[in-house]
Amino acid sequence: MAQQVREIMTGTPAAVGPQTSVAEVARRMREEDIGAVMVVEDDQLRGLVTDRDLVVRVLAEGKSVEATTVSEACSADLVAVSPDDDIDRAVQLMREQAVRRLPVVESGHPVGIVSLGDLAIERDPGSALGDISSAEPNQ
């Protein structure tokens, strides 16, 4: 039987409201050693902001990190998976959409996130990406 997304996803993803400042999101990413934060409003997924989004959409444009909200920096056109989807479906979507992370949504509510690293650890733990993804972060 094929594995499901719920078996490898990171549950309880980091989430912020759409009016949260980019600076606050960046600090949270640093503190929690994560590269993506979900943007949630009324318990519904509204977007996903990555560390790359912060660089490309805020810093490179010369915007203020304190005055810019996460809703201005996040990706709103999301592709998501269900916790009951097969891992193969997540892989297919990542390839087709050229994304490294997929929100996991159940009835519109965010319940997790699955990353390229999660898939590498599961599918090919001995690969370079699998090794890097499973390594402990430097402090």
In the chain, domain spans:
5-134
pLDDT(124) > 90: no
Q: Are 39 and 33 in contact (CB under 8 A)?
A: no
Give the mean pLDDT of 116-136: 58
- Going by pLDDT thresholds of 50, 70 and 90, the confidence category of residue 77 is confident
- Do the beta carbons of residue 67 and residue 55 sit within 8 Å? no
Residue 126 has a pLDDT of: 55
The whole-number pLDDT of residue 118 equals 84
Average pLDDT over residues 91-99: 92
Q: Which CATH superfamily is domain 5-134 in?
A: CBS-domain (3.10.580.10)
Strand boundaries in the chain, DSSP class E: 10-11, 15-16, 36-41, 44-50, 101-106, 109-115
Strand partners, 104: 81, 112
**Residue 110, pLDDT above cutoff 60:** yes
**Dist CA 126 CA 124 (whole Å):** 5
